[in-house]
Structure 1
Amino acid sequence: MDIKEINVENGRSDVIIAFDELLQLKNLEKIHAKRCELLRKIFEVELEVTDSKFNNESQTIVVKLPKLREVVLEELENLNYLWKNNKWRQLELPNLTRLSIHNCNWLDDVFATSMVSTFMQLQELHVTHCRFIKVIVHKDDDFERIVLPCLKSLKLEHLRYMKGFCLWEKEFLLPSLSTLVIKQKVIETNEGFIDIGEQDINSFIITNKQQGRHFGSQEDE
């Protein structure tokens, strides 16, 4: 199937791409979803499909979308997450360079530590007006450190309840970062809410952890 772009506006489904459709989308380059009030996830990875070729749980099935470079998500009021990998089914986006999320209020986070390897080419990460987002990266496995080697532009705007880029003691690195925009954001600590203004988010989180502040509640860490 030679589909290069998926544009969905005012759709009525709770998912854009089911797991058994991923193998047919090797040429997909862009996804743009807007104002889909029932949409809860972008990719259905954890679905227990009925096709026997996907039901063998003796091995992990990894599906790649090698040409997907851009994902833009706007005004998806009920979006819970982009996708969730599991032990048997995993999705990789090895050449994704731009991820933009705007006004997706029910997102808790953008991706998990187990997905970081799929963001090695990510250059732009923009998250704006997502009311209840708490972190960008949440921990779901053991790891040494988080590295996004190609990320050049990070914009976090109007994220009222965001607690931090990530919430753990281990190192995270953004070596190529040249543009950092943080607007109208406060971070919750054990000493109350702090407006970090235009400070570098990496330095702010690391420095304040060293000073004994905790981000979010203790159980979140």
Structure 2
Amino acid sequence: MKQIFVAEREDNVNNNEVIERVEFCQLCYLTLKNLPRIASFYSEVKTPSTLPMRQKESTTNLQSNDNNLEDELDTFTPLFNRKVVFPHLETLELEAINAEMIWDNQLPTMSSCYQSLTCLIISKMEKLNYVFPSSMVKSFEQLQHLEIGSCKELKEIVGKEEGAEAAATFLFSRVEVLKLSYLPKLTTFCPGIHTSSWPKLKRLEVFGCQNLHIFTSEYKVVFPNLEDVRLHAINSQMIWDSQLPIMSDCYQNLTHLVIGSIGKLKYIFPSSMVKNFKQLRYFSINSCKELKEIIAKEGAEALPTVIFPRVESLILENLEELRTFYPRMHISEWPNLKKLEASSCDKLQMSTLEYKV
């Protein structure tokens, strides 16, 4: 299948008589999967101007019409252009679609076309370079669930259009779940200097995004209400940037932290940020082959006491270089710890005099 909605028009028809737009007023859920030949949801094709000629050549020109259709479709880069409107669409799932972009970035009239969208799931779109044009971010104010996976050319979540002024702040005001998986070229949420704010985000999952740096001062990504963070197979030497003053209360609601297969990671927490994680309850680290400590040594002053007041489960697995929780003389307190698992952590010493676990 090469098209979903095709509008035919005769060669001599005035452009003003062409369909202005197609509106799917009642459509709430749309799933497009395994359609590698579709480049655009809506297309227009030219047909011969006289009916007798169309009837006469209907058989002999079948193959040539098909070729013309393919050429016509190739000119429509966005999957959804200005001709298609989904005012009540709530869930959109796209998988294995051959499109370089999803939405047309030249269309200010689209600001209300996706005003009801709450769930967006994208996977295996191998030509996709970005998800949202920067001019359209405000159109997705109701979005609550965003999931992107296995898009090998994706470089950013929000793309900057040519000639457009870069916005200082991008706000995803209602997104609660963000899942990013197997995006090898993804480096940032948006190129250039900006702030990306996710005030209601509760769950963040990142798997197999080797070039993505999330919690750094360079891009200023703000998650004030995160509860659950799961990071696996990303290329980073540290998770949190201790130089960000705005992050002082960003993780006060974090209850679950799962970290795995981050090969270059040296430590988990900067010592200056340990107090931010008072709500942490489940803490798991596995297969970080260069991890040497849980808390990094910073500055001249040492922390005399390290307290994780609400942690109930601590899981440490396959951490061959892990030696200590904190490389200074201190007392480490876990007053609510109920489950402690440590396997294949041969260099870790937990029962020395400077620790009180």
Question: TM-score w.r.t. structure 1 length?
Answer: 0.72
Report the residue type matching 1:85 in the other structure.
Answer: S
C-alpha separation in 2, matches of 1:205 and 1:17: 46
Where does 1:34-53 land on structure 2 (aligned, <5 Å)?
A: 34-39=207-212, 41-44=213-216, 46-47=217-218
Q: Structure 1, residues 87-138: CA drift from partner, whole Å, max 9, x if none? A: 6543521110000011111100111110111100000110001111101111
Q: Does 1:5 align with 2:180?
A: no
Question: Structure 1 residues 15 and 140, CA, compared in 2 at 3 Å: closer, same or farther?
Answer: farther
Contact 1:155 1:181 survives alignment (8 Å): yes
Distance 1:13 1:83 in 2: 18
Cα RMSD for the two superposed structures: 2.5
Please give the secondary structure, in 2, of the residue aligned with 1:90. Answer: helix
What is residue 206 of structure 2 aligned with on the other side? 33
Can you give the 5+ residue segments of structure 2 that lack an aligned partner in the other structure?
1-172
Structure-2 change in CA distance of 1:17 and 1:138 (3 Å): farther
Stretches of structure 1 that go unaligned for 5 or more consecutive residues are 50-62, 189-195, 210-221
Partner of 1:148: 308
Against the structure 1 CA distance between its residues 34 and 145, is the aligned structure 2 distance closer, same or farther, given a 3 Å change threshold?
same
* Corresponding residue number in structure 1 for 2:163: none
Structure with max Cα Rg: 2
TM-fit CA distance, 1:47: 2.2
Please name the residue that 1:176 is paired with: 336
Separation in 2, partners of 1:118, 1:15: 24
1:85 deviates by: 2.4
Matches within 5 A, 1:104-123: 104-123=262-281
Number of equivalenced pairs: 178
- Contact 1:3–1:25 under 8 Å retained in 2: yes
Amino acid paired to 2:214: I
Distance change >3 Å, CA 16–CA 137, structure 1 → 2: farther
Distance 1:17 1:151, change over 3 A: farther
Q: Give me the identity figure in percent.
A: 22
Distance 1:9 1:88, change over 3 A: same
Counterpart of 1:83 (choices 240, 248, 254) is 240
Give the secondary structure class of the aligned counterpart of 2:316: strand
Residue aligned with 2:204, SS = strand
Matches within 5 A, 1:48-59: none
1:138 is aligned to 2:296? yes
Query: How far is 1:75 from its partner?
Result: 1.9
Q: What are the within-5 Å matches in structure 2 for residues 155-194 of structure 1?
A: 155-187=315-347
Distance 1:17 1:187 in 2: 40
Give the superposition deviation at 1:171. Answer: 1.7
Partner of residue 97 from structure 1, selected from 252, 255, 276:
255
* Cα distance between partner residues in 1 of 2:328 and 2:276: 20
Q: 2:198 & 2:239 partners in 1: Cα distance?
A: 17
Q: Taking CA–CA contacts closer than 8 Å with sequence separation of 6 or more, which of the two structures ends up with the larger relative contact order? A: 1
Change (3 A) 1:87 1:64: closer
Cα distance change on mapping 1:16 and 1:165 into 2, 3 Å: farther
Q: Give TM-score scaled by structure 2 length.
A: 0.46
CA contact (8 A) 2:264 2:291 kept: yes
Q: 1:48 to 1:80 in 2, by over 3 A?
A: same
**Is 1:21 paired with 2:179?**
no
The 1:16–1:154 alpha-carbon spacing in structure 2 relative to 1, beyond 3 Å, is farther
Q: Cα distance, 1:14 vs. partner?
A: 3.1
**CA gap 1:37/1:68 in 2 versus in 1, 3 angstroms:** same
Quick one: distance in 2 between partners of 1:16 and 1:206?
45
- Contact 2:203 2:226 (8 Å CA) reproduced: yes
**In the TM superposition, what is the alpha-carbon distance from 1:15 to its structure 2 partner?**
4.3
1:118 partner SS: helix
1:168–1:26 distance in 2 versus 1, CA, 3 Å:
same
Shift of 1:17: 8.2
